Structure 1
Amino acid sequence: MAHHLAIYNFGLHVAAYDDPAVRGFVSREPLNFEAAARAEGYIGRSGYAGEPGPESWGVQAFPRFIAGSGFTSGPSSLSLWQDIETLMAFSYSGVHAEALKNARAWNIKQTWPPLVLWWVPAGTRPEWSDGVSRLEHLAEHGASPDAFTFKQAFSPDGAPYSPDRSRMKALVAENLSRQQDLLHLLTSISV
């Protein structure tokens, strides 16, 4: 059976979404969504209820780490990818890598894992609640075939997995060729 890789991430900003302190994040968000859509191996992402764009994959939920923060929501995403290499190539290069480089300016320091990965049968899509439960499981129990990270990855059959670095390098080059206009736009957006 074919599988796709699901990723859920969650963080908390240093200020409200409309505060100038996180304007750099807000300004980059559409560029990141567009870079993902252009990336090799991208399958799709959940939208957010009540916002333009893709439909929400279930009711958006947040992990217990939001408790006591003063926020009722936090920056999070849920998406599907062909495999680990395609997701890593997108995440750690180009537009998204530039956002990661500046994330400390917008987000509080986390005491929980920033993301969780897991496999789903091709043709199905996870819901927000799936990502929340898996992130909490990862935080409580560490990496397993049901909830893992890039550093401790597993294949769809549950075996430990080491990403193919040479394939990722080729994917990075391909993705960067599709993002040149987006990277240019970044030069005019402040952190």
Structure 2
Amino acid sequence: MPRLALYTFGVLKSPLTDPAPLTREFYAIGAAVYREISQSPGYLAHAEAADGEQGMLFEADWGAWGEFAVPAWYAKGRTVETTALATTLSLWTDLRPAVDAIYTGLHRGALNRRYDWFEKTGHPNHVFWWVSDDVIPTWRDGVSKLEHLRDHGSAPHAFTFQRPFAPDGTPARINGIGSANDQPR
């Protein structure tokens, strides 16, 4: 049975090591959001660095999730002191559970505050794609899918909540997300 991969990417206004209250708040909220989402029905797993070190993204050992990668448009730092991004890579059983987890609870509250922490880049901030049940997506897969989405729009192999596709490649509909006019024809 296919599983749903989700890659998210955002450019933060300040580096992860910034001691300012907004950065500390982002970390605190993020930790609580991860705990809540990991208990959501349909959640399977997410990429975690082997040592669990915050801010150690580029240097970390990500195991089966592969070498850490970011989209070409990310132009900020890549050291522990200068990295200014937040990204996730996760696996889900289906679209509906992912939507429910992301648009409810603590994550919904965090979404409402996203412009306190993140720059408006004009690029997509998430992408979905289906993988077979024996595949663990990699960071490079996520970057490739997000860049494809940016360049070509939603397609069966790289899509958004607003323009989703089923595992067989046919357009899908998620009740409560998007409108009939947003759906592929």
* TM value normalised by structure 2: 0.82
Structure 1 residues 52 and 14: alpha-carbon distance in aligned structure 2, compared to 1, 3 A threshold: closer
Could you tell me which residue of structure 1 aligns to residue 132 of structure 2? 121
Distance across 2 between alignment mates of 1:71 and 1:88: 31
- 1:25 to partner: Cα distance: 1.1
**Secondary structure class of the residue paired with 1:154:** coil
TM-score where L is the length of structure 1: 0.80
Query: Corresponding residue for 1:34?
Result: 35
- Paired positions, count: 161
Structure with greater helix percent: 1
Partner residue in 1 for 2:120: 109
Identity, % of aligned pairs? 34
Correspondence 1:42-61 to 2 at 5 A? 42-48=43-49, 50-51=51-52, 56=62, 57-61=65-69
Which residue matches 1:82? Answer: 93
Structure 1 position 15 matched with structure 2 position 14: yes
Aligned to 1:188: none
Provide runs of 4+ in structure 1 moved above 3 Å: none
Partner of 2:164: 153
1:130 paired with 2:141, answer yes
Deviations along 1:4-58, one digit per CA (max 9) or x if unpaired, are 11000111110011221322211112111111110000010001354259x7211
Give deviations 1:83-112, integer Å, cap 9, x for gaps.
000000000000111111111100101211
Q: Which residue of 2 aligns with 1:65?
A: 73
Counterparts of 2:145 and 2:119 in 1: how far apart (Å)?
Answer: 21
Which sections of structure 1, spanning at least 5 residues, go unmatched?
A: 166-191
Structure 2 CA distance for aligned equivalents of residues 105 and 3 of structure 1: 36
